[in-house]
């Protein structure tokens, strides 16, 4: 049977299917790895937004303005 | 009739009804003319907003105001010194703060109660031994515990700030009975607490000038943190949750329609015969 040549999106989808989804073992593995990567990216993005919008207000920055409390010396 | 168009149309209709409900609630909630109280304005706190945490410096300054001004009458029985660690003070600093107080402990091996310096695990000290002592020292009025006071007042921290800065002479014709002080933000106008914050009342560790409004702002933020210690973590996890939902929701919608597509295009025809 003769067939038209595949378009680029079709080629891409075929490649993704053949590499990741043909066997359940590779599918599940790639899902878990994508989960790790995705969670990492999302955590870094969200925490980055929070850090930039709260710069200077957090507890980590407190000793830039406050001196360390010293115990009072009782003589 | 595109099915995607129908879906988008329905989504917009629901969103429109929801938005109308929110606007109606905000614009049309009633303020009665015979309310005997002035409602505080909405101040621009630094922790308001979906991506804002508490200002840790304000919490620390607010603790200093509470310790030096408020703790002589108001208890904070549900706060421990360990609650301050990682929020406004390091562990060593909190230990120093705790050690400044005397705590009754015991009984010891001889069966006697003894006093010892405070530890991280101790609560904030109570200025009075019991409610009767508190009332006796304050003209019969009980200074409320401040651990959850911001949660317990309808206008939250706006009320605390307005109250603390709201002391003024009563307007002509308004008489406040002996022993009470005029404050328009307190229901009825007469509050048993005298004005407590005056310029220069506290020496801040970071050198901030201690004006009345600065002290009121810092102590309000401190009390808001005390009522809502989970505020920062809750909001941040909220961001994570919404981001995850935003990523997964279009996929879930598509996947459901994909799985239902055979049933959506199927048509059952009932023939007119037995």
Number of domains in chain B: 2
Both B158 and B246 in one domain: the answer is no
pLDDT tens digits, one per residue of B149-178: 999 999 999 999 999 999 999 999 989 999
* B215 shares its domain with B192: yes
Residue B88: DSSP 8-state:
T
Residues B255 and B197 in one domain: no
The reported pLDDT for the residue numbered A1 is 62
Chain A residue whose CA is closest to B61: A66
B146 with B241, same domain? no
Q: Is B74 assigned to a binding site?
A: yes
Residues on chain A touching B98 (C-beta within 8 angstroms): none
- Looking at the domain assignment, is residue A65 inside a domain? no
Q: Which residues of A touch B (CB under 8 A)?
A: 38, 42-43, 45-47, 49-50, 53-54, 57-59, 61-62, 65-72
Do B247 and B156 belong together in one domain? no
Are B247 and B221 within one domain? no
Domain annotation covers residue B220: yes
Residues B141 and B185 in one domain: yes
Strand partners, B116: B103
CATH of the domain at B202: 1.10.760.10
Which residue segment(s) compose the domain that B255 sits in?
231-263
Residues of A in contact with B57 (CB under 8 A): 57, 62, 65-66
Min distance A43 CA to chain B CA atoms (Å):
7
Q: Is A60 contained in some domain?
A: no
Shortest distance, CA A46 to any CA of chain B (angstroms):
7
In a domain, residue B258? The reply is yes
Both tokens of A2, joined, read 């003769």
How far off is chain B from A29, nearest CA to CA, in Å? 19
SS3 for B76?
Answer: coil
Q: Is residue B14 part of a domain?
A: no
Q: Identify whether residues B55 and B163 lie together within a single domain.
A: yes
Same domain, B241 and B190: no
Q: How many domains does chain A have?
A: 1
Residues of B within 8 A of A42 (CB-CB) are 240, 243-244, 247
Six token digits for residue B33: 């003319």
Q: Any idea what DSSP says for residue B80?
A: B
Alpha-carbon span B40 to B145, nearest angstrom:
21
Which residue of chain B is at minimal alpha-carbon distance from A60? B86
Residue B5 lies in a domain: no
Classify residue A67: in a domain, yes or no. no
Give me the residue from B88, B93, B244 closest to A42, CB to CB: B244
Per-residue pLDDT of chain A (75 residues; tens, 9 = 90+): 677 888 999 999 999 999 999 999 999 999 999 999 999 999 999 999 999 999 999 999 999 999 998 887 665
**Residues B120 and B113 sit within 8 Å (Cβ to Cβ):** no
Predicted local confidence at residue B180, as pLDDT: 95
**What pLDDT is attached to residue B225?**
97
Look at residue B99 and tell me if it is in a domain. no
Q: Min CA distance, A60 vs chain B (Å)?
A: 8
Is residue A43 in some structural domain? yes
Grouping H, G, I as helix, E, B as strand and the rest as coil, residue B104 is strand
B222 and B239 share a domain? no
For residue B246, being part of any structural domain is answered with yes
Is residue A73 a part of any domain in this protein?
A: no
Give residue A21's domain range. Answer: 8-53
Say if residue B193 is in the same domain as residue B243: no
CB B183 within 8 A of CB B163: yes
**B136, part of any domain:** yes
Could you tell me if residue A13 is inside a domain? yes
Q: Is residue B72 located within the same domain as residue B200? A: yes
The DSSP annotation for B11-43 comes to HHHHHHHHHHHHHHHHHH----TT-SSPPPP--
Could you tell me which residues come within 8 angstroms of residue B1 by beta carbon, excluding any fewer than 6 positions away? none
Residue B64 is predicted with a pLDDT of 96
* Domain presence at residue B7: no
Tokens of B175: 């008489």
pTM: 0.84
ipTM of predicted assembly, 2 dp: 0.76
pLDDT value at residue B27 = 59
Residue A21 lies in a domain: yes
User: Would you state the pLDDT for residue A74?
Assistant: 60
Contact B90 A70 (CB under 8 A): no
Which residues of chain B fall short of a pLDDT of 70? 1, 24-34, 274
Please state, in angstroms and rounded to a whole number, the distance separating the CA atoms of residues A40 and A50. Answer: 15
């Amino acid at each position: 049977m003769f067939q038209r040549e595949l378009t680029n999106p079709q080629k891409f989808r075929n490649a993704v299917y053949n590499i990741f989804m043909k066997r359940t073992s590779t599918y599940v593995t790639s899902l878990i790895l994508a989960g790790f990567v995705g969670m990492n990216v999302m955590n870094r993005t969200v925490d980055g937004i929070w850090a930039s919008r709260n710069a200077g207000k957090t507890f980590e920055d407190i000793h830039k303005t406050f001196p360390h409390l010293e115990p009072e010396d009782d003589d | 009739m595109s099915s995607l168009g129908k879906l988008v149309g329905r989504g917009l209709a629901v969103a429109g009804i929801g938005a109308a409900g929110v606007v109606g609630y905000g614009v049309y909630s009633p303020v009665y003319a015979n309310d005997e109280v002035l409602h505080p304005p909405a101040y621009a706190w630094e922790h308001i907003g979906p991506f804002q945490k508490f200002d840790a410096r304000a919490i620390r300054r607010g603790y200093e105001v509470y310790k030096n001004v408020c703790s002589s009458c108001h208890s904070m029985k549900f706060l421990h010194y360990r609650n301050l660690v990682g929020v406004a003070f390091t562990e060593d600093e909190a230990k120093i703060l705790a050690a400044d107080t005397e705590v009754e402990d015991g009984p010891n091996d001889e069966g006697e109660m003894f006093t010892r310096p405070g530890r991280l695990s101790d609560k904030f000290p109570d200025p009075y031994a019991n409610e009767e002592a508190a009332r006796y020292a304050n003209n019969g009025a009980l200074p409320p515990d401040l651990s959850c006071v911001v949660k317990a007042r309808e206008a939250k921290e706006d009320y605390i700030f307005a109250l603390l800065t709201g002391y003024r002479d009563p307007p002509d014709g308004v008489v406040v009975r002996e022993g009470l002080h005029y404050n328009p933000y307190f229901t009825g106008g007469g509050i048993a607490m005298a004005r407590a914050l005056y310029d220069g009342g506290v020496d801040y560790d970071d050198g901030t000038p201690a004006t009345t409004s600065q002290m009121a702002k810092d102590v309000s933020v401190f009390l808001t943190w005390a009522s809502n210690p989970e505020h920062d973590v809750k909001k941040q996890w909220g961001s994570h949750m919404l981001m995850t939902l935003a990523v997964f929701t279009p996929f879930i919608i598509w996947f459901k329609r994909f799985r239902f597509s055979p049933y959506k295009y199927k048509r059952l025809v009932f023939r007119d015969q037995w």
